[in-house]
Structure 1
Amino acid sequence: MDKIKETLTFTGPIPPNGRHRAEELCRRQATQKKAEQVYLNTLSVSFVNSYLQYMGFETDLDKSDSWNPVQQTLMDVADLSLKNLGSLECRPVVEDAQFIYVPPEVQSNRIGYVAVQIKKSFREATLLGFVRQVQTDLLAINQLQPLDNLLEYLEELTQVRQAELASQSLTDNKTLVKLKQWLSNIFEAGWQEIETIFDNQRTNPDWNLRSANGSFVSRGKLIDLGKAGTIQSVILVVGFIQEKEQEIDIIVEVHPKSGEIYLPPNLQLMVLDFEGVEGESIMKAQTRSTNKNIQLQFSGDVGERFSIKLVLGNISVIESFLI
């Protein structure tokens, strides 16, 4: 991050592809006022995207609402998604303006706000500075921090996020459940036979896969989702069958612990894509007031990884698996 030293502002050309995108989105709008808003928003995002990429940060325009035609039409949005960091709002201002307009819908869920002065030619722009948070619709330009502060701030966020991912990766490696080993009767600590974990007080879960050809294997684990001073446990049950050489069918269920009839309300069960850095949910189920169990069913290839996430209030537990 030493390409520009002691930078208060930065002026440069707006990338041609950004101008083309702005013109494309502009033509979709129903009114002239909305078209001008979308045009300036898109130019701003494109300019900040180009600058931050040059400074070494990973951006993702496709995940930005501002690059989505529908979202641009519905909202006044100029966000730029930064990989693993969050969204940076890139607010446009015209030359000689003293204030930056920050619409209410973008005053939260942002890692910061950058002021982008669009020149009258619409081919050049200046980054005037940034702030981390806003509490008002109008932000005075003289309240902006220098551009260097933005780069230092993003670098700090990057280092924190990398440390979190490294820690998460280490945890996942330590607790990785290898399903193929279950076929050889090798089970990780905590995963018990179904009859044992239910204390023989109820029948096995009603697995849809039992009628299929092949060896069906299942195990359960007691998961603690208790808050401070309370005990709130559920039973996570995983079963699978391998009918094809490179693919297995998997069922995940959550049951109340022995002695309980219903699961706690608003308990979420999610399957996470292990390959996605952000751990994106690809399947989800949630309890209501009287659920006796919840279930998700999916297939996976041998060698793939996935995670199961249970969420209750502000408590979450993740179990990671290797097929």
Structure 2
Amino acid sequence: MNQTASNYKFLQDLVNYNFYAEAQATWNVNDLIYDLEKIREQYSRVGESLSKFHKQYLLMVLVGKQLPDMVAELEDITSVESLRTKLSNDKNKKGIHFCLQKLLKQEIRNPQDIIFHLFNSKYRKQPQPPNHEKETGLLIRIPDDVSAKQLLEIENKVRAITGCPYIRIVEIKMGSIILLFKGSQSACEQIESLHEQGLLSYRLGIPIIDVEIIPSHVNLTQWFDNILTSGWQAANQLLTPSQLALVRSAEIKAGKLINLRADMFTHPIVLLVNLARENDDYPEVEITLRVYPTGDNVYLPPNLKLIVLSENEVFQEVTARSEDRMIQCQIEGEVGEEFTVKLVLDEAVITEDFVI
């Protein structure tokens, strides 16, 4: 959590709100409220802070409450219709939905939208796998009418079924909802097997459209055909204009938001991969790996390591200093070659496997 944020009275008072403890178990509530308060102060005419209504509403959203469940908990709200009216009017007054839209850069219309977009953010707590544990990706496609509460429950049910404490949703895509999980190979295979037996929908309590284990390696050659690996985004969705200025426009580039949890704090960073080659038939690819701070962080966390491994041997390694805004490694390889990237900060280790 942002250390400055912990000193603010509006954060200290949060512990007295209903559902705070329940929300805090899944979300970095203090960081979220702190960042929303800064937006509220910036856009409201007199620098107003979020009201008790705003914070109580948000806490109930974070634990999966729907509008009918909220009526009895919110002051001066007598019906679902009066709550909808207040939220609509509140949005015009730079209220909670307005602030969430500015923060998440997504349209917010209802509690379900908030949960969906926060799932892909730094504000959700995620268990990390043991160091050196290889992970497997798993896609589960579900109908788009699932409630926010059901969505929050799916992750815990999958953990209970598989016995894997760190299997987790790392991305949600809209449409028919696609949940991208990461966990142990055996856990992912167990979920796939239950689906093939026709038992997964019953165990999770929701209809399941499809389940698919996805390749463990990020295929970089596909990026030249504009096919981005699930979990990766266009660079302009993750970086600031000043950060993008360092990247040559002719390069193929994509990034991934990564949350490193170390010393009780969450450090959001972006891993950016840039690709360049002379022509479509040229077998050799020039790869530049860059790591940037994100959010309100100007500098990378000191001692963050960017490590490139080839055939399980360290090929390159660079360590962030106290005021580094970016660190990078440059490598070259031919189509079909594999390499691994590790991001290490104290006890936190994130591993990404690539094939050119």
Instruction: Establish whether TM, by shorter chain, passes 0.5.
Output: no
TM class by shorter-chain length? Answer: 0.3 to 0.5
TM-score by length of 1: 0.42
Q: Which has the larger radius of gyration?
A: 1
Higher normalized strand content (fraction of residues): 1
